[in-house]
Amino acid sequence: MSSRSNNGIGMELGECIHNTGFHEVDKPEDAAAGDSESRCSMPPDGQLDAYTQIKPYAGMPKEVLLLYSHQARYRLPREILFWLIIVSTLALVGLTIAVIALSPACLSWWQSSPIYQIYPRSFKDSDGDGVGDLKGITEKLQHIEFLNIKAVWISPFYKSPMKDFGYDVEDFRDIDPIFGTMQDFDHLLAAMHDKGLKLIMDFIPNHTSDKHSWFNLSRSGHEHYKDYYIWAPCNSTRPPNNWVSVFGNSSWTYVEDRKQCYYHQFLKEQPDLNFRNPNVRREMTEIVRFWLEKGVDGFRMDALKHMLEAKHLRDEPQVDPLQDPETIDTEFELHHDYTTTQLGLHDILRDWRVEMDVYSREPGRYRVMITESYDYEEIEKTMMYYGTPYVKESDIPFNFYLLDLPTNLTGDGAQGLVNLWMTNMPAGKWPNWVVGNHDKPRISSSAGLDYIRVINMLLLTLPGTPTTYYGEEIGMENINVTVDQIQDPFGKFNPNSSRDPQRSPMQWSSEPNAGFSDSNTTWLPLHPNYTTVNVEAQQKDSGSVLAQYRAMSLLREMEPSLQRGWMCYVWSDANVFVFLREMDGLDKAFLVVLNFGQDSVLNLSNVKELPEWLTVRMSTRPENDGKMLEKSSIATALGEGLLMEYSTEVRFNPGHASQCFVSEKACYLKALDIMYKC
């Protein structure tokens, strides 16, 4: 027998012992007595089973609960449920680990979005002086959003005497008043981040302005700064060697104060820094940190191949050994064995990459490093900026080879330029494509208006990151600049090489000055077609260049095959360049047919991986959108691009390995609607 006291009320559990203090409510005494007798009935043998003497009831004490909890009918379900929970939890953890382990890395922001280049002098003038500025960019951020672009590269806005429009930097930690103030920059950066946009700055490490405080101290012979630049013995009539500036003539300028010449690979107002001086490297690294602390999302690093020179200062070999040395005055007349891509250059860049990686640790704040070095036919030098399999360097070295498309305007020519990059790019690296910038003529002018749409389609359907120069999304053209209107220092040296025509103000509307400025004059003339070729007009036209650019940008973001799938060459000839984009496991794929020649009818019957009929998802001629085309008869007009969608379980890439490329291979698992490494 056991007993328990609770709140002074005794309860006894035993062999039929009466609790005289208990009375059921609303029951007469005789009924209660009868119930008591009934409960005290004994089995015939007089033995009471512990499990049957008392039945479970609400509020039962622990002693009763424990008696019943050990019964098999209660214990087994409990144990089964317990182990099911354990097994399910372990299975869920294991599945989560497997998904994480097998999932391909997410594309970073600089991979998933096109990059939009803004030349700040020409984008939007907010203060009426005829020159674009930072506040003007802030005012027009909704245009970037409209294009579905997340990354913006802004050309230099540092404090500068503007001899080369910002590429001659007087102070790396200040904003030139023509563009605004540091407060304007902070506001622009905050506004961009609020909208989910990323800001990439131009960084110009090779040289400074001759107005920079470092150079003034160096030319005066200050002990700490005297070797911040490249100085060599010379006299006022004879330079140290035959090295030639990018802008023409000798790259040496004599300074009477030091009785020496300083070296400049660009204008004489842009003296080259001496990166063999550890103090210079330390100073420039601090500048990188300064802007990263501000919150910028990356750098496009300019003119990197020029950063180091051979210490011996020997003459560079002539391209034509028979040419009179006295007549050499352009960079193309010398082999630049001693003034570009010198040993030690990539060590400097890797140090900067380490600095940027420190600031990339914050989730969602990866800092991108883009390098600029156009090495012409020596493309293997450009590829070195990707780094090695073990040492990271640039995320993408700018690919300028598509800038040559206007002089290779055929299907074969387009494929050749694309293939040049893809076959030389190290395995697993990310490609990128540039068709226009502030130094090259606009595509609408160099290739022709008939081809602007198809070139934009090429740019947005190739694998990798496309870069669009402001105005290309509406088909802006070069302007005509008279000799007395030339602003570009390169153009003043050689009017035929002026870069002003491609730098004209952005055409926002049909209002005076194209909505760019309220000033009576603008720093460069506007193209006279701004009344019809402008953002406002094209936003209202579903068939405009702008509308098609935006639709392609949205489609690129939506379709995994276009973002990170295989790119496989299918066909090229004098007229068309054809490739497809597909992803293993995904039954949707795209065939891209681009006409860079004349009207053409293409027969792809021999491509067994393609179905007989394909649907035109998008054409540069809107009237063809949605049409069904037979693969044996795909017609394209001059300058037309077709993005055709098809469904198939048969993949093209396994049987055509030499024609296919992928940077970060991923497969699609339909059952779970996920991508995985394969």
| Catalytic residue IDs | 302, 372
Terminus-to-terminus CA distance in the chain, angstroms?
70
Q: Report the SS3 class of residue 417.
A: helix
**Ramachandran area for residue 595 (φ above 0: left; ψ -120 to 50: alpha; else beta):** beta
| Structure-token pair, residue 260 | 């020496």
C-alpha to C-alpha distance for 408 and 417, rounded to whole angstroms: 8
Token pair 């100085």: residue? 231
Contacts of 102 (CB under 8 A, 6+ apart): 676, 677
Residue 260 Cα to chain centre, angstroms: 45
- Kindly report the length of the chain: 678
Strand-pairing partners, residue 232, are 261
Nearest to 466 by CA among 476, 456, 474: 456
| Structure-token pair, residue 551 | 């639709």
In this structure, how many other beta carbons lie within 10 angstroms of the beta carbon of residue 510? Answer: 14
Nearest to 281 by CA among 216, 227, 223, 200: 227
C-alpha to C-alpha distance for 253 and 241, rounded to whole angstroms: 12
| Structure-token pair, residue 472 | 């290309």
C-alpha to C-alpha distance for 302 and 439, rounded to whole angstroms: 13
**Phi, psi at residue 643, to the nearest 5°?**
-110, 110
| Structure-token pair, residue 630 | 């037979």
- On the CB side of 531, CA atoms within 13 Å amount to 2
Q: Which residues of 437-463 are buried (b: 16+ CB within 10 A; e: fewer)?
A: bbebbbbbbbbeeebbbbbbbbbbbbb
C-alpha to C-alpha distance for 408 and 422, rounded to whole angstroms: 17
C-alpha to C-alpha distance for 298 and 187, rounded to whole angstroms: 17
C-alpha to C-alpha distance for 245 and 75, rounded to whole angstroms: 90
C-alpha to C-alpha distance for 574 and 593, rounded to whole angstroms: 13
C-alpha to C-alpha distance for 460 and 562, rounded to whole angstroms: 9
Q: Report the SS3 class of residue 660.
A: strand
Contacts of 126 (CB under 8 A, 6+ apart): 133, 135, 136, 138, 139
C-alpha to C-alpha distance for 41 and 46, rounded to whole angstroms: 9
Residue pair 660/573 in contact by the 8 Å Cβ criterion: no
Q: What does DSSP assign to residue 462?
A: S
Kindly report the three-state secondary structure assignment for every residue of 163-209.
Answer: CCCCCCCCEEEEECCCCCCHHHHHHHHHHHHHCCCEEEEEECCCECC
Strand-pairing partners, residue 117, are 153, 469
Nearest to 486 by CA among 478, 476, 496, 477: 496
Contacts of 49 (CB under 8 A, 6+ apart): 43
What residue spans of 2-71 are helical by DSSP H?
A: 29-39, 62-69
